[in-house]
Amino acid sequence: MLTRRLIVCLDVKGGRVVKGVQFEGLRDVGDPVELAMRYEEAGADEVTFLDISASSEERSTLWEVVHRTSERLFIPLTVGGGVRTADDVGRALRAGADKVSINSAAVARPAVLTECAERFGAQCVVASIDAKKDGDRYRVYTHGGKRPTELDAVAWARECVERGAGEILLTSIDRDGARSGYDLELTREIAEMVDVPVIASGGAGNAEHVRAALREGKADAALVAGILHDGVTTVGAIKELLRESGLKIRGSE
């Protein structure tokens, strides 16, 4: 039986790790390679690098960082941010990523998901969706949560899977960085609808929030960042709570 996963996200900019609050106000918290390895040792099930570089100069350091990380990290590494084409995905995989998440580029041209799935397999194509509550629905945003689209998040998630995405990384813009808990309604709605794993993201303030995302939100995995980087809690403490609560979790070795 598959275990639920705890995924640690490192926001990377210019080759360094930062964590934004509501995608703004960045603070430098360290070296991506060392941090990724530390989280593997701590029992994280996966690591995600989200590249939030604004310029191509900043981004050019990313592939080198991915390469160095992949040589020392022996759990899955997902890379996202600024990936536009199937060739970009190929470059990321070559550099050392195991999976690639695609966000704005998929909204601009949904066929890119199919192209990537056919070339590299659905298991390495992650559709990243940033959603914000808008009345009684959820609206999809692109460009780091800044640009609204006409897409409904639930319908868009379904389309991403139909087009070949093997996982959905679902971020609540309202909750991101707020530490008030994941958006359980949004997470559950999409997790119950699609047949691929859903990773809940945005809003973790403590271990109980992670448990709620997996249990009430029905997510397969939860993405956690700031509360770990800031030392509010640890991978071990979160996993212990999940295990005590009866969720199937990979144990520490």
Catalytic positions, please? 11, 130
Tell me, what amino acid is at 109? R
Residue from 35, 93, 127, 219 that binds other proteins (CB under 8 A)?
93
Q: How far is the CB of 38 from other proteins (least distance, A)?
A: 13
Does 120 participate in binding other proteins (rule CB under 8 A)?
yes
Does 75 participate in binding other proteins (rule CB under 8 A)?
yes
Residues 8-27 that bind other proteins (CB under 8 A): none
Residue from 18, 19, 32, 45 that binds other proteins (CB under 8 A)?
45
Q: Which is nearer to other proteins, 93 or 129 (CB)?
A: 93
Residue from 51, 174, 176, 220 that binds other proteins (CB under 8 A)?
220
Q: Which stretch binds other proteins (CB under 8 A): 14-22, 74-82, 127-135, 137-145?
A: 74-82
Residues 135-174 that bind other proteins (CB under 8 A): 166-167
Residue from 10, 35, 65, 97 that binds other proteins (CB under 8 A)?
97
Does 76 participate in binding other proteins (rule CB under 8 A)?
yes
